Amino acid sequence: MSDIGIFFALAAGVLSFFSPCVFPLLPAYITHLTGGKIEDSKLYVNRHLLYLRSFGFIMGFSIIFIALGASATFIGKLLMDYRIIIMQIAGLLIIIFGLQMAGLLNFKFLMREKRIQPEHKSKNMLSSILLGMAFASGWSPCVGLALSSILLLASSSDTLTKGIFLLSGYSLGMAIPFFIISIGISYSLKMMRKINKYLAKLAFINGIIMVVLGFLVLSGQMQKISAWLSAYSLFQL
């Protein structure tokens, strides 16, 4: 899948974080992780604890995402004889998911909530990891569509390592902005209010990226581009 697959996975992870299903809930997740509180439009939190617990949360959702990627690739390898058909179906589904994310389609069954709400605040590093795993397991509509698209891409990978690498890229795409903005809003919540204004536009961009990815997979151009890029690849898998 080479660099282009990693690029799409990384971009999908970043834009998934900035989805209307995830980003507005960031203060709530932080208070659960650290025991902090929000008063007078300010987030009061122990920053040292925030760094540690955020890292645990990232570990948790990365474990689940990478495990899903490995599983998707393993199933794809079992169906290797039907690889072309699988790629065509995957491409078509990714296009549909992308159009849904961009707001150009409205299939209600794709927007069903499966979010897991933690009942108790995180008390230690282990509970932070478990909270991250719960977050990854509860596919909200916005994240589920992007994640499903990357999993479909992983299922068409020819090696287990590539599938794992794709979902590692997706996890990294979510982890970087999560960590940076978590630290930023511990100083001021104004950043969140400014970014909230652009969430709809970011969802549209995410959808268009997925549509492009879907057409590349459906047409077989993904393999051709990846083969061409392999001569310059940073990721020789």
DSSP string over 9-32: HHHHHHHHHTSTTTGGGHHHHHHH
At 78 the pLDDT is 75
- Alpha carbon distances (Å) from 229 to 125, 153, 225: 40, 17, 6
At 154 the pLDDT is 82
Q: What are the tens digits of pLDDT across the range 91-111?
A: 888 888 888 888 788 776 555
Torsion of CA 136, 137, 142, 147, to 10 degrees: 70
> What's the length of the chain?
237
At 226 the pLDDT is 58
Number of helices (H) and strands (E), helices first, in the chain? 10, 2
Give the C-alpha separation, 157 to 172, whole Å. Answer: 19
At 59 the pLDDT is 93
pLDDT by residue for the chain (237 residues), tens only, comes to: 456 778 888 988 888 888 877 888 788 888 878 888 877 667 788 888 888 889 999 999 999 889 988 888 888 777 777 777 877 888 888 888 888 888 788 776 555 555 555 555 556 788 888 888 888 876 555 566 788 888 888 887 777 888 888 889 999 999 999 999 888 888 878 878 888 888 888 888 888 888 888 888 888 776 666 555 555 555 454
At 225 the pLDDT is 60
Q: What are the tens digits of pLDDT across the range 13-45?
A: 888 888 877 888 788 888 878 888 877 667 788
Are the C-beta atoms of 152 and 86 separated by less than 8 Å?
no
| Residue 74 neighbours by CB distance under 10 Å | 13
Are the C-beta atoms of 162 and 2 separated by less than 8 Å?
no
At 230 the pLDDT is 54
What are the tokens at 34?
């650290």
What are the tokens at 69?
């990627």
At 12 the pLDDT is 86
pTM of the model: 0.79
At 1 the pLDDT is 46
H or E, element range at 37? strand 37-39
For residue 153, the SS3 value is helix
Q: Which DSSP category does 201 fall into?
A: H
Give the C-alpha separation, 120 to 225, whole Å. Answer: 47
